[in-house]
Amino acid sequence: MRREQVQPACLSDFEPDRLSCLPGHVIDQILSHLPLREAVRTSVLSSKWRYKWATLPNLVFDNQCHSVASQDHSDIKNKLLRIIDHVLLLHAGAINKFKLSHRDLIGVTDIDRWSLHLTRRSVKEFVLEIWKGQRYKIPSCLFACQSLVHLELFNCWLKPPSTFQGFKNLKSLDLQHVTLAQDVFENLISSCPMLERLTLMNFDGFANLNIDAPNLQFFDIGGKFEDISFENTFQLSVVSIGLYLNFETNQNRLRGSSSNLLKFFVHLPHVRRLEVQSYFLKYLAIGAVPLKLPRPCIDLSYLSIRMNFNDSKEISTALCLLRSSPNLQELEVLARPDEQNVLIHPYCGEDEYCSCPIMQLRHVRIDGVSGTKPELDFISFLLLYSPVLERMTVKPVSSGVTELMKELLRFRRASGRAEIIYQESP
């Protein structure tokens, strides 16, 4: 715990008020280290300090914004309203960032009004988190704000007007718990040519994703969707995809269909870090899984997958990835418990492990295993074909799985330096 800073002693009567005479940029720094409320308070400190706060570039209104003396919600709401109106009215100079994240319900018309004001002030970063209530419909004026570089919305509904031309300067977009239609989403992405980072979590209103973004470098998605494809995304280097929907695999529909895995990697030649979460590996396993990708992922150095060890197609998909990633250094495999009683693709045993590649893995982590044969085969394969392995950490799903430990000790290792760490759950 941080100790209290020792306070300097109070000065004698003859020392001047040096604080107020510090250079402007130093005072700006002091004020920006304070929560906004404290910074605004300095306006009554002295006549010199009246407007020093008014050029603060970043305005953050969150739960720290006011004292929590009152528990009455409408009282808190009114206070917050007054504070934001006061600040926006008196603020001078450019507003770089505006963040509103307050747990109490805020009136829709108020946010509309503030958004309009901010677009006129050329705000660059706009963060809005609506904690309670229905999705907030983003006002049309915000869609006309061309100064935006970062837009972050939580619990909002996006329906731009027909005059929407995209955000020409937007580099980073973060949408969580949002509702928007299919065409709105596609239009939004393709009309933001500078977009480098995209986060999309828990969205509804559409199920097929087509990402067309030539400058995109970072992509993080978690939600329920049916299909995902990329176009022109050759700069994409960090990708994290979580499919939260355990879809039913219909054998008839899928027989002979093209491989999702192939389709997925066609437009991702330079991916460096990849996370395949929840049921996304199951999605990638649909179709005829190749032995190896036609073009190797030479930049891939970190891979994390959540896998159902009892599904042979998922294992084949993982192996295809491992064969196609000659420079992979870190691997994380998280076990997904098998929910179906009838295995559609039962495990074929060691036949899975044909054409094993020599891998450059240094660190491996296996989580949630219980010592079943498919799991042990996979671990054994990793140990046999990783000559530069430094550490493998195995965390069982429950403690006391001694059989697993015995097997781990027994396995042959290609790397003389490999440590195997068995992490007991507490």
Tell me which residues touch another protein (CB under 8 A): 2-11, 13, 15-20, 22-23, 26, 29-30, 33-35, 38, 40-48, 66-67
Q: Note the residue count of the chain.
A: 426
Q: Give the residue with the Cβ less far from another protein, 4 or 183.
A: 4
The least distance separating another protein from the CB of residue 256, rounded to whole angstroms, comes to: 53
Distance CA 352, CA 166 (A): 48
Measured from the CB atom, is 7 or 355 closer to another protein? 7
From CA 66, how far away is CA 79, in angstroms rounded? 8
Please state the closest distance from residue 217 (CB atom) to another protein, in A: 27
Q: What is the DSSP letter of 54?
A: G
Q: How far apart are the first and last CA of the chain?
A: 25
Q: Is 403 helix (H, G, I), strand (E, B) or coil?
A: helix
Nearer to another protein, 64 or 208 (CB): 64
Tokens 């076990």 correspond to 335
- Residue with smaller CB distance to another protein, 2 or 255: 2
Look up tokens 């001694």; give the residue.
Answer: 402
| CA-to-CA dists, residue 4 to 7, 34, 68, 321, angstroms | 9, 17, 22, 52
Query: What tokens appear for 46 in the block?
Result: 């002295």
CB of 153 to another protein, least distance (A): 30
Contact yes or no for 362/334 (Cβ under 8 A): no
Q: Which is nearer to another protein, 22 or 92 (CB)?
A: 22
- The nearest distance, CB 3 to another protein, in angstroms, is 6
- Sign of the CA dihedral with 59 first, then 61, 63, and 66 last: positive
Describe the chain by its helix, strand, coil percentages, rounded to 5. Answer: 30, 25, 45
* Least CB distance to another protein at residue 205 (A): 42
Closest approach of another protein to the CB of residue 378, in Å: 38
Task: CB nearer to another protein: give 20 or 229.
Answer: 20
* Helices first, then strands: H and E counts in the chain: 13, 17
Separation of alpha carbons 188 and 153, rounded Å:
14
| Residue 40, token pair as written in the block | 């605004």
CB of 53 to another protein, least distance (A): 11
> Is 5 or 355 the residue whose CB approaches another protein more closely?
5
